Amino acid sequence: MKREDVAHLATLARIELSEAELTRLEEELSSIVSYVSAITDIAGDEADTAPQLGARFNVFRADEVTNQADEYTEDLLAELPQREGRYMKVKKILGGE
Amino acid sequence: MKTISELRAAFLALTYTPTQAVEDSLKIIAKKNGELNAFLDVYDDAKEAAAVATSLYAKGGDLPPLLGIPVAIKHNIMNKGKRVTAASKILENYTATYDATIIRRLRDAGAIFVGATNMDEFAMGSSTENSAFGVTKNPLDITRVPGGSSGGSAAAVAMGAVPVAIGTDTGGSIRQPASYCGLVGYKPTYGAVSRYGLIAMGSSLDQAGPMTNTVADAELVHNVMAGLDSFDATTIAPDTYPVLSEKTTYTFGVPRDFMKKGVDPDVLQTFEKHIELLRAQGHIVVDIDLPLFEKGLAAYYIVMPAEVSSNLARYDGIRYGYSAEGENLLEVYQKSRAQGFGAEVKRRILLGTHVLSSGYYDAYYGKAELVRRKMRSELKDVFKTIDIILTPTAPTPAFKIGEQKDLLSMYSQDVFTVPVNLTGVPAITFPMGTVNREGIDLPVGVQYIAPLGGDARLFSIGKKIYDERL
């Protein structure tokens, strides 16, 4: 794994990394990836690699409202880093230019 | 009093009250926590709940099984109105807006929460050294770690503050700290206990369980927490897996090849003594082959980071948690996550992003899921000839704070525990003896693994082998 690969992963994962972190992670991730590669030689046909269902699956519950109106609203709004009344404030999505 | 059953008997006999128990618990925390850092929060309202419990015992009648029992919970379990941080800076000021199912069930059973315990950040680690709020020290030797990630919960019980603490186990995070602190630790069959309200790490691996001083106490608390939950579609019904019959003697299987490398010689010697003990009690112990289990750790370090990278995408500095200043939305995400997450969390998110990315998914994630499937069928075959798999819980006793510098050697702490999470089977650990380090006897645990749904078998044999010899 190269430095630019780590930088690309960081972009995908939405984590800003310092130069020092990039240097360290290049080495660390390479060693972990080479360790986990021990399983890439295990044989199996394609059907075997499909994600498995758990012991129970397609478990549904009734599509019903289970809480009172506003029961949790204020608690949830109180967690917002920035709010205005009942609204969440966020930064602009597009750049300045 | 170290056990729930002793406390319960004293409460019923009116020789000791929940008020006294909670006061004693808070006194021990006040005295020892400054040094140990087992608790991140202590709950003052515990005294009010204790007063109510005390009056209920005075009245008598049919009383719930955990009434008045002081309990500590890991800092990644939702408890409405309380701070729940996962020991991360990104959730430092987060207050839970609802109760986890296990919290509701414990409270309904009368349990009193006295505080919430330290852990590795987002349960990622084997020592609590990854906590954003400082390491927890092992009460048996304060130069050593208590294990992790449920290290604060283990220390809370080992320091005598509570008879039971709740932990979570994704790859060994209940069992390894229980081994390091001389406790019983229980990882249930996947789905036996609801995950609703646990801060998710690896959703196909996570289970919550008790850490206690006796197997009987672990069984009691597990049974309170377990059961179908409409809020967690992966919870299992009592008839999901075949019921295993109880036996007077069991056949144990030891995966010898799996233990050839990296296990401390003193731990192995203690393990051999445990095998002798089992044989002396009439059980049969045979060698078994589990060739794929050796691949478990590699598969785990693909599946777990993949699930981590997905689960932790929600921490974006917008709806709750730490939020950094940024010029635009993308910068808010990137800076909040950069400043809010610690090094190990970033490492695992990036690793997970890698194994799930286009071009690598089949080679890594697909193969890891294949290994899991093959491990499950390997287990199924092995359990045709034996009843319980036997391993040491961890390859070493508690190590020194700061001693494990190499990532892969730290990860290898979980070599015996991760195959259990990958396959979903239940496992229990309890002390099998001690090994001496620098004049101190450090406990080491033995792990019993049963087939899917074999929880009752583990409690039954655990009580015979451990509790009856205490």
Residue A88 β-bridge partners: A83
* Ramachandran category for residue B302: left, alpha or beta (phi over 0 → left; psi -120 to 50 → alpha): alpha
Nearest to B328 among A49, A75, A91 (CB): A91
Contact: B323, A88; criterion CB under 8 Å: no
Question: In chain B, positions 392-431, which contact chain A (CB-CB < 8 Å)?
Answer: 407-408, 424
Strand order in the sheet with B284-287: B39-42, B112-117, B70-74, B164-169, B207-212, B184-187, B427-437, B440-449, B388-392, B251-254, B284-287
| Residue A3: C-alpha distances to residues A26, A29, B37, B352, B355 (Å) | 6, 10, 38, 17, 17
Which of A21, A34, A39, A48 is best to mutate for the B interface (most B CBs within 10 A)? A39
Q: Does A56 touch chain B (CB under 8 A)?
A: yes
Contact: A61, B230; criterion CB under 8 Å: yes
At residue A49, does pLDDT exceed 90? no
Nearest to B329 among A79, A80, A91 (CB): A91
Q: Whole-angstrom Cα distance, residue B201 to residue B140?
A: 29
| pLDDT reported for residue B392 | 98
Residues listed for chain B:
470
| pLDDT reported for residue A52 | 64
Alpha helices by DSSP H, listed for chain A, are 3-12, 19-36, 73-78
Nearest to A38 among B298, B313, B334 (CB): B298
Tens digit of pLDDT per residue, chain B (470 long)? Answer: 789 999 999 999 999 999 999 999 999 999 999 999 999 999 999 999 999 999 999 999 999 999 999 999 999 999 999 999 999 999 999 999 999 999 999 999 999 999 999 999 999 999 999 999 999 999 999 999 999 999 999 999 999 999 999 999 999 999 999 999 999 999 999 999 999 999 999 999 999 999 999 999 999 999 999 999 999 999 999 899 998 988 999 999 999 998 988 899 999 999 999 999 999 999 999 999 999 998 999 999 999 999 999 999 999 999 999 999 999 999 999 999 999 999 999 999 999 999 999 888 888 998 999 999 999 999 999 999 999 999 999 999 999 999 998 999 899 999 999 999 999 999 999 999 999 999 999 999 999 999 999 999 999 999 999 999 88
Told to judge if B336 belongs to the known catalytic residues of this protein, a careful annotator would answer no
Residues of chain B with Cβ-Cβ distance to A12 below 8 Å are 353, 357
Please tell me the pTM assigned to this model. 0.96
Q: Whole-angstrom Cα distance, residue B196 to residue B78?
A: 9
| pLDDT reported for residue A60 | 85
Told to judge if B173 belongs to the known catalytic residues of this protein, a careful annotator would answer yes
Residues of chain A with Cβ-Cβ distance to B341 below 8 Å are 15
Residue of chain A minimizing CA distance to B326: A91
Question: In chain B, positions 324-343, which contact chain A (CB-CB < 8 Å)?
Answer: 326-335, 337-338, 341, 343
Which of B350, B377, B380, B412 is best to mutate for the A interface (most A CBs within 10 A)? B350
Residues of chain A with Cβ-Cβ distance to B313 below 8 Å are 13-14
pLDDT, greater one: B341 or A61: B341
Average pLDDT of the segment spanning A42-53:
64
Provide the shortest C-alpha distance from residue A17 to chain B (in Å): 7
What are the tokens at B241?
A: 């897996």
Provide the shortest C-alpha distance from residue A24 to chain B (in Å): 10
Note the ipTM here.
0.92
What sign has the CA pseudo-torsion A27, A29, A32, A38?
negative
Q: Does A22 touch chain B (CB under 8 A)?
A: no
